[in-house]
Structure 1
Amino acid sequence: MSPRPPRSGPRPAACRRCSGREGRGSRPRSRAPRPLRPSRSGQEYPPIKGRETIATALLGSLGHLDTTHSLSNPRVSLDGDTAHLEGIMACQHLPREDHSRHVLMTNRYDVDLARQGEVWVIRHVTVDNAWTKGDPTVLSGI
C-alpha cells in the first residue's frame, strides 16, 4: 500500500478549490482572478477577482447544486515556492431539488500556485471549457 498523498501541495490545492472545500468553514485560500472563458454551452462568465468576491460568487451561485469534480491528468511543475498545474476537470452539476436535470462539463484548468508556509495557495486559475452536455440552464445565476 502506498502512503497517503499529502493534503498540502499544488494538486490538493486545486482539488480543494474545485470541490468547494476551500471555502466551507474557512476562508478560501485563493486570492487570484478566476477567468472563465466562454463556454461551448454559449454562457459567458466574467473574470472573478479577489478572495471575498470569489467566495461569495461561488458559494452563493453553486449552493443550490449537488456537484462533483474529478481532476485527471494533472501535470505539476515546481520552481521553488511557486508551482504551475495543468489538468482536466470533469464536472457534474445537479439542482439539489431536481436531479432529473443536470449539466456535465469537461474543463481544462491552468493554475498558478505559491507556497505560504506549509500551505500551497492558488494565485491565478483559468478555466477553459472543452465540452458541455445536458441542460446548461442548471448553471444560470453563476
Structure 2
Amino acid sequence: MAFPINLTGLTTREAITDAVYRCTLAFDTGDAKLLESASTENAVINLDGMVISGRDDIRTKILGSVGKLDTTHLATNLRIDVKSESEAYVTTSFLAQHYRQGEGRNPAATRFLVGGMYFIDMIKDEKDGLWKSKHWKVQITWNEGDHSVMPGR
C-alpha cells in the first residue's frame, strides 16, 4: 500500500506533526519514499549514541534492519516549538514494539519493547514545502523483552 506523502489543508503545527508520523510510519512499513519525504538529505539520527548520518545511510541502516521487522512505533505528547516559518523543534514520547518478521501476530513470539523520547530539529523544505527532520535524537528511557529480536544483535 502506498501512503500519500503530502496531505493538503494542514496547519503548520499539523504539518510538523505529520513529518514525525511519516517517519515512524516509514519505520513500520519499510516505505523508503515516505522516509525520504520526512528527512533532509543530510539528516542525522542519533539512536541513543549510535549516529547515522545522511538520508541514504539512514534509509539503508534503519529500513534495512527495523524496516524488516514487524513493528509499531507510536509518538505521543508532541510539543512543537515553531521557531520561524522554516524551523521548528519537537519533543515527543515514544513506544516502539519490535517482533521478528512474520511473528508479530503470534502471542507466544519473542518481542522487544522500547520507550523514551524523541528530540527533533525540523526544517521546512523550500523545494516541496514539506517539513523534514534535520536532526533526530532518540533517547531510550527503558526497554523490556528480548534485545536479540533487533537485527545485528
Gaps of 5+ in 1: 39-45
Aligned to 1:47: 51
Deviation at 1:69, TM superposition (A): 1.1
Amino acid at match of 2:112: V
Aligned to 2:88: 83
Could you tell me how far apart the structure 1 residues matched to 2:32 and 2:119 are? 26
Aligned to 1:24: 31
Deviation at 1:64, TM superposition (A): 2.7
Say if 2:108 is the partner of 1:102.
no
Aligned to 1:131: 142
Could you tell me how far apart the structure 1 residues matched to 2:61 and 2:121 are? 21
- Please give the TM-score of this superposition, normalised by the length of structure 2: 0.76
Q: Does 1 or 2 have the higher relative contact order (CA < 8 Å, sep 6+)?
A: 1
The alignment's C-alpha RMSD in Å is 2.5
Gaps of 5+ in 2: 1-7
Please state which structure has a larger fraction of its residues in helix: 2
Could you tell me how far apart the structure 2 residues matched to 1:55 and 1:23 are? 9
Which stretch shifts more, 28-37 or 65-74? 28-37
Deviation at 1:140, TM superposition (A): 3.0
SS in 2 for 1:52: helix
Aligned to 2:151: 140
Tell me if structure 2 keeps the 8 A contact 1:23–1:55: no
Deviation at 1:17, TM superposition (A): 1.1
Over the matched positions of the two proteins, sequence identity in percent amounts to 27
Deviation at 1:139, TM superposition (A): 0.9
Equivalent residues, number? 132
Aligned to 1:42: none
Deviation at 1:19, TM superposition (A): 2.2
